[in-house]
Amino acid sequence: MHIDSLDHLVLTVHDIEATCDFYTRVLGMQVVTFGHGRKALSYGSQKINLHQRGKEFEPKAAAPTPGSADLCFLTSLSLEEVIKHIKACQVDIIEGPVPRSGASGPILSIYLRDPDHNLLEIANRVTT
């Protein structure tokens, strides 16, 4: 068995429209409509499918809960630019920049929360 990459993940949210607004306005993702009106957030070659709490699609996680995710996104923009943009969007940065360990090496990260209070980490790879 060999896994190559992550195709998509699912976030269960209280309000799909508020989630779409945040992720497009603050993180620059694109809203995609698929299936029978389902919504997803697209970025790079991945996407985040959205499930409305109480109206999840089957099959689903055993205990889908808004606010339970902890996600790290990599960006090629400087964290200085990212911080300026996030502040302009009137979103609080709760920590950072701080050094962390990413999947393929060191990263420099900031942390914020989405409308459901999921923890979002935005990071730059650190080149040595």
Q: Write down the catalytic residue from 80, 81, 95, 121.
A: 121
Question: Is 17 known to be catalytic?
Answer: no
pLDDT for 128: 74
pLDDT for 23: 98
pLDDT for 44: 92
- By percentage, how much of the chain surpasses pLDDT 90? 94
Sequence-distant contacts of 21-29: CB under 8 A, at least 24 apart: 22/114, 22/115, 23/48, 23/114, 25/89, 26/85, 26/86, 26/89, 26/91, 26/112, 27/73, 27/120, 27/122
pLDDT for 105: 95
Q: Which residues of the chain have pLDDT under 70?
A: none
Q: What is the number of domains present in the chain?
A: 1
Write the CATH number for 58: 3.10.180.10
Q: Which domain holds residue 62?
A: 8-125
Q: What is the pTM of this model?
A: 0.94
> Considering the domain boundaries, does residue 46 fall inside one?
yes
